[in-house]
Structure 1
Amino acid sequence: MTGRFTRRGVLATALAAMLAATAPITQASAQTIRTDVNIGVRLEPPHLDPTAGAAAAIDEITYANIFEGLTRIDAEGAVKPWLAKSWEISEDGLTYTFLLQEGVKFHDGTDFDANDAKFSLDRARGEFSTNAQKPLFEGIGEVEVVDPTTLKVTLKKPNGAFLFNLGWGDAAMVAEETASSNTSKPIGTGPFKLVQWVQGDRIELAKNAEYWGEPAQLDRATFRIIADPAAELAALMAGDIDAFPNFQATENLPMLAADPRFTVAVGSTEGETILAMNNKKGPLADVRVRRAISHAVDRQAVIDGAMFGNGTPIGSHFAPHHPAYVDLTDTYPLDLDKAKALLAEAGYADGFKATLKLPPPTYARRGGELIASDLKKIGIELEIVPLEWAQWLSEVFKNKDFDFTIISHTEPMDINIYGRKDYYFQYDSEAFDKVMAELETTTEEQARYKLLGDAQRIIAEDAVNVFLFQLAKAGVWSANLKGMWVNSPIQANDLTGVHWE
């Protein structure tokens, strides 16, 4: 199916597929092993350069498929060698010497070497960098090319997370000759190349026959953009889509789990889902108002109503599965009387009006209705403004033109965003900055965990945002499709191990 999905069309096709589901599989069809896959995604990326945008939808297409970094984050969240096959770290923790893979070529046939690696890191940290995660690279003092396969990176101060940071999509290796056009014509070193991008419909990848590493088992992969949850289910039932790594219509998971044609896998993500507040705008600049709002939102009702129970409550911006996690979910118990008292103390006894700008994901659209109802009980009237993804990135993330929004931050270990003065929710705390500065120079594991705990407590106490839940990853795919990630330790639909049986 090559056209855009329509609700009526996919429902009709789904009915036919369900009626045919009990038909016997012929021996010929059973012996045919497919080498293509159709994957459904809910958000279309604004472009395809992971080094120049914050949208998770970019990495969900490109990470490990089109672009690669010096290190990589695997399915278990561990740091692994990648374009750097090994490295040595100096005793003072400041100098990293990377030995690069040999024989690596970009998709346009040009060689990848240490000069490209230097360009990529210098570009990410440079004065005119558009990298959404530029702070990850600001600790780099100098990048030197020792020889074509050896790169030396000297840090300004030790950073225990440096190798992990190099595994983000934002640290992908690019060539100077093609970097400016990667948004629409991505040229990486990965096992897949871009074939075509039909905007609003699909992104097609093909196997890179000249790949330097273990070749992909798939010859072709198509990512189809399907934003509507009902259309997701219909496309899956009809066989038009083989996999939804992040399935939105979670109310249908029990039915799909009982169907032998499908595998249903509910895993974890790095997605802290928050009701984000503009900390420098109007009433929200007062911590008492933010605390009142935190007392008024029924988190469990949001999880139950928007996610059909799939989600773990959180009390700060940190993943519950991480060993440094501190359970702060009792910091703001549901208490409407307390919320009203705090509003009155701040001078807003009669409440106020504000906007709630919502991006397309289901958790935001469904959750927004529930939260608007919660806040109305304490006198806060929210005007719900649905936005498309590009609008949200422009109005909310870039221009900070919002009061409230709901978003899931899926970057791993990203509590450091609360130290960025120009970040969209505009939080500013000397106490938090002090903890993060100490964390950057601390390498001992337990000491880092203590500092991470302190950071979690500070942003919870300041009620920077309403911390809702850790986003669950509900994946559904064909029972014969293997190698899909159950968890999402990083924003990725890594196809390098995906195959049919």
Structure 2
Amino acid sequence: MQFRTTLRSLCLGAALAASTALPSFAQEGEVTIALRVAVNTFDPHMTGTVGSDLSVLSHIYPALVLRGPDLKLQPSLATSWEMVDPTTWRFKLAEGTTYADGEKIDAEAVKWNLDRVRDPKVGARIAGWFSLVSEVNVIDPTTVEVKTSAPYPALADQLSMFLLLPPKWAETHNPATETLSGGPYAVEENVPGDRITLKANPDYWGDKPTFQTVNFRTIPETGSRIAALLAGEVDLITGIPTSEIARIDAADNASAGAVDSTRSMLIKFNHEKPPMDNLKFRQAVNYAIDKTGIADAIFDGKATVSQCQILSKDYFGYNPELEPYPYDPDKAAELFAESGVDLSQPIEIEVPVARYLQGEEVTQVIASELTSLGLNMKISEIEFGAFMKKQIEGRDLAQMAVQGLAWPTIDADGMLTMFSPGNVYDYWGNEAFGKLLDEGRETTDKDARQKIYAEATKLMCDEAASGFLYVQPETYGVSDDVTWQARGDDWVRAFDMKPKT
């Protein structure tokens, strides 16, 4: 209890100084969204970053289906879709759809995009999403058929992330730096690293956009985002400390809150480096961390403790039968002793800076709790890009790393695959776990899949494959001029917002 009280005081003491709220001057027919990081590319096939790149590009390019604020799939370019057999999907497209230059958005365009993203010569960043797609067939101008080499029950979910470039236009233009609208908005101005201004596309084939102008401003610093919201300069911000929610709520022109995201925070163990290959040592780490204390003290109770799995309740395959490792320092000390590990040896724990909500604070608490039990902990803070390169290309992850994982399909097949032998993210190498995931892909029966994933998540829990922490809260602040339904999957889109009447 002393830990939670002290930590809460430190967090509150570090909160930003209160500022006086000014009346909003957001113009009618215009909305402004603050991004935490800049847009890196306009090519939707070269990025998997939802909170910036894909969120902006979803205003410009069409998708077959969209995931709504309720996290359910809804029609977009595709008016309907069905799994014809375990390895065949069929999509029916809206008629009369075109890009701004008149180029058709038809079945041929869909096929070209799926062929492009799978072409090794293109080197698409998201090629792995469609590794199971074996063939794309045009049935007629408004019907496209996608065949897969194995059952892919989450294909429609994955396609909600897949934006369609105009094929003919792309032959003579660079999609990384240029755009041609086929969605509700077109780019009017782009100041790299600073702002992107969109104007409503008058030739859009779908519903007329609510806002005539959409501004995306890049504001990396948390205090500056909050100040911009309270000054009425922006209408939506995300990624704020939970300690700031009450202050924003107290303003007369904005409100704030938090919901569970689809991102689970964990201590990723590198089983390839001792002592993380020791089961009792890994279990001891799980008992040593006061996850409820972290949720209460750092996140003001707005973080949900993970149920001994990396899946949150939003995911298909979530296992409701699992329970968290309880906070039990005595049990942890007993297991550390039984592990036979020399606790004086240095143990490195890495954390990417400015990537996860208050991730550095969480890492300090974890290191402190493990140190109190005799471990020799060393914290290494690292830039996120360097962290990912070290993890994937260098295969040199530290013994422990604080990391957040999410998967856009919100399906166990994608999320759990990051721990499957052979996956670039895997440092566990558990063959039994890999076989269970293979079984899950061999059937489209939901009950059978749920049972398989229950077994797989239990195996991860029993083997302490990682240190299971909490579901990261998705925090936000929104001006009183608009309505927006908070969502936990990082999408920030103007067409999910409306002027407040």
- Structures share a fold, TM > 0.5? yes
Query: CA–CA distance in 2 between the matches of 1:154 and 1:478?
Result: 45
Q: 2:247 aligns with which of 249, 255, 258?
A: 255
Query: CA–CA distance in 1 between the matches of 2:421 and 2:191?
Result: 36
Answer yes or no: is the 8 Å Cα contact 1:43–1:389 preserved in 2: no
Query: CA–CA distance in 2 between the matches of 1:398 and 1:181?
Result: 27
Q: 1:409 aligns with which of 390, 405, 419?
A: 405
1:297 deviation in Å? 1.9
Q: Within 5 Å, which residues of 2 pair with 1:261-280?
A: 261-280=253-272
Unaligned runs of 5+ in 2: 1-15
Go from structure 1 to structure 2 and tell me whether the alpha carbon gap of 1:134 and 1:447 turns closer, same or farther (over 3 Å shift): same
C-alpha deviations, 1:102-151, integer Å up to 9, x for none?
A: 33333565332222211222333444564555444222221112233221
What amino acid sits opposite 1:191 in the alignment? P
Go from structure 1 to structure 2 and tell me whether the alpha carbon gap of 1:252 and 1:208 turns closer, same or farther (over 3 Å shift): same
Answer yes or no: is the 8 Å Cα contact 1:106–1:189 preserved in 2: yes
Query: CA–CA distance in 2 between the matches of 1:214 and 1:33?
Result: 22
Go from structure 1 to structure 2 and tell me whether the alpha carbon gap of 1:247 and 1:348 turns closer, same or farther (over 3 Å shift): same
Residue 240, structure 1, aligned to residue 233, structure 2: yes
Question: Please, which moves more after superposition, 191-200 or 95-104?
Answer: 191-200
Counterpart of 2:463?
A: 462
1:355 deviation in Å? 4.1
Query: CA–CA distance in 1 between the matches of 2:80 and 2:473?
Result: 34
Query: CA–CA distance in 1 between the matches of 2:386 and 2:190?
Result: 20
Query: CA–CA distance in 1 between the matches of 2:322 and 2:257?
Result: 26
1:66 deviation in Å? 2.6
C-alpha deviations, 1:446-469, integer Å up to 9, x for none?
A: 222222212211222232222211
C-alpha deviations, 1:39-65, integer Å up to 9, x for none?
A: 222233443444323434345533632
Query: CA–CA distance in 2 between the matches of 1:298 and 1:59?
Result: 35
Counterpart of 1:47?
A: 41
Go from structure 1 to structure 2 and tell me whether the alpha carbon gap of 1:272 and 1:295 turns closer, same or farther (over 3 Å shift): same
Question: Please, which moves more after superposition, 155-164 or 381-390?
Answer: 381-390
Q: How many residues align?
A: 474
Q: 2:389 aligns with which of 379, 385, 394?
A: 394
C-alpha deviations, 1:452-498, integer Å up to 9, x for none?
A: 2122112222322222111222222111212x23123x331122142
Go from structure 1 to structure 2 and tell me whether the alpha carbon gap of 1:272 and 1:110 turns closer, same or farther (over 3 Å shift): same
Go from structure 1 to structure 2 and tell me whether the alpha carbon gap of 1:348 and 1:408 turns closer, same or farther (over 3 Å shift): same
C-alpha deviations, 1:393-449, integer Å up to 9, x for none?
A: 433455444313333323222223222623234232222222212222322332222
1:311 deviation in Å? 0.9
Query: CA–CA distance in 2 between the matches of 1:364 and 1:199?
Result: 27
Query: CA–CA distance in 1 between the matches of 2:362 and 2:397?
Result: 17
Query: CA–CA distance in 1 between the matches of 2:265 and 2:245?
Result: 21
Answer yes or no: is the 8 Å Cα contact 1:63–1:493 preserved in 2: no
Residue 368, structure 1, aligned to residue 356, structure 2: no
Residue 70, structure 1, aligned to residue 64, structure 2: yes
Q: 2:154 aligns with which of 158, 161, 164?
A: 161
What amino acid sits opposite 1:38 in the alignment? T
What amino acid sits opposite 1:352 in the alignment? P
Query: CA–CA distance in 1 between the matches of 2:164 and 2:421?
Result: 25
Counterpart of 2:449?
A: 448
Q: 2:217 aligns with which of 221, 224, 245?
A: 224
- How high is the TM-score relative to the length of structure 1? 0.84
Residue 124, structure 1, aligned to residue 117, structure 2: yes
Q: 1:307 aligns with which of 290, 299, 307?
A: 299
Residue 146, structure 1, aligned to residue 139, structure 2: yes
Counterpart of 1:85?
A: 79
Query: CA–CA distance in 2 between the matches of 1:68 and 1:346?
Result: 57
Query: CA–CA distance in 1 between the matches of 2:372 and 2:123?
Result: 42
Counterpart of 2:492?
A: 493
**SS in structure 1 opposite 2:358?**
helix
**SS in structure 1 opposite 2:397?**
coil
Go from structure 1 to structure 2 and tell me whether the alpha carbon gap of 1:436 and 1:323 turns closer, same or farther (over 3 Å shift): closer
Query: CA–CA distance in 2 between the matches of 1:416 and 1:317?
Result: 11
Unaligned runs of 5+ in 1: 1-10
State, as a whole percentage, how many aligned pairs show the same letter: 23
Answer yes or no: is the 8 Å Cα contact 1:358–1:384 preserved in 2: no
Go from structure 1 to structure 2 and tell me whether the alpha carbon gap of 1:296 and 1:60 turns closer, same or farther (over 3 Å shift): farther
Counterpart of 1:5?
A: none
Query: CA–CA distance in 1 between the matches of 2:401 and 2:267?
Result: 6
Go from structure 1 to structure 2 and tell me whether the alpha carbon gap of 1:150 and 1:100 turns closer, same or farther (over 3 Å shift): same
